Structure 1
Amino acid sequence: MSKVPAVLRNNLLQLAFGFAVGATTYVAVDQPAKPSQAVQLAMELGAHYESSGRHIGVPYVDKLGKGQPLTVCNGITGPEVVAGRYYSKDDCYRLELSKYLEAERTAQRQFKHWHTYNVWVQASVIDMFYNLPAASIASSTLRAQANAGQPPEVWCPQMQRWVYGTVNGRSTRLPGLVERRTTTAELCRDWGRDGHFSVIAIRGLEGGNAQAD
């Protein structure tokens, strides 16, 4: 039984179905290149868990973040975030995409077997690099196992270790992070593999016979 929330599960499957359909359609030469499928899936994950669109607008102080950073959009912090400025949906997309692309580049550098992973594994790892300090992943058992050539089903469950945030100066297990890591661990470990419902659902959608859930 999948533990991915139903709304997110359906959104991810519909997005993946769009990839399958798009692969057979004509693309104009002058059409801007889209980010990789893995980045698009990771952005869907982030949108669901960071704010689900609630933080488009004026930055807020993230009281669950270390240092309580000024934050806007789907988890954007740093010098780009200016107090009192209004950030539109387009502003948020631009800022988020830049950070997701950097997360993807970092993952490609740190994971020796990156190009052997399916798009769900890649999206899950990109989500972690977007949400966590890269240094914490670089020194992790998860990365060591992956770079030793272990299959994803061995090291993906390690994702569920990163579930702590800072609350009132103390490291605290956060339910939102528990749910997020449960989702990414499942996507990483199970999705896209022969016989899994994610594969069956996409094939069914292509044939017009299956429900997304």
Structure 2
Amino acid sequence: LFTERRTSELIKYAANAFLAVKITFINEMADLCEKVGANVQDVSKGIGLDNRIGRKFLHAGPGYGGSCFPKDTLALTKTANDHGSPVRIVDTVVQVNEARKKAMADRVIQAAGGDVKGKTIGVLGLAFKPNTDDMRDAPSLDIIPALQAAGARIKAYDPESMHEAGKLMSDVEFCDGPYHAVDGADMMVLITEWDQFRALDFDRVKKLLKSPTVVDLRNVYQPADMKRRGFNYASIGRP
């Protein structure tokens, strides 16, 4: 496909904005699932079977971040507003996504019994997605300061991004592994779904935690399995 410059710019902005819409849509469906007792992962699979929709970018979580989606959605909305042709759907997506990242801290506080003052939280994953050290607009940059403002102490581990995170966060104890991060913590919070976190020894995790509480913001673990192991487990959009 060969186009002139303005069209090519809009193709890039529109593509990333559309994917941001999909992510935000399934995140809001996850909230609804929690209210009505449905499972957002099954909803994602069900609508993804429709080839007009597709399965990609339908994974509920703490909101999108990174170098492309936040930048391109804002660029598209500014361009549209500057030309008197607002893209209200994308405007709303930007607002909803920002609110969602901040709301994730409230979920953690709720799982802790409504108060994290004086408690230690072991955070796994800081980058905006796995397999990168990119911290740009990562959900952790909203979640961790909000938990600190509520009185929590943070221990954190990420396989790649701790050097970058250290430039953007203060008063965080960066750890040398996931078990170090949860050792002595009152709860564990998964923010980024690195593969190594999928294979944790949860018998060991349970022994290291002061309280067997896990908040999974990426739906990596199975609720029935976590409950069978004796964890107080919370995830996104699943009963």
TM over 0.5: no
Computing the radius of gyration from Cα coordinates, the structure with the larger value is 2
Q: Would you tell me which structure has more helix in proportion to its own residues?
A: 1
How high is the TM-score relative to the length of structure 2? 0.25
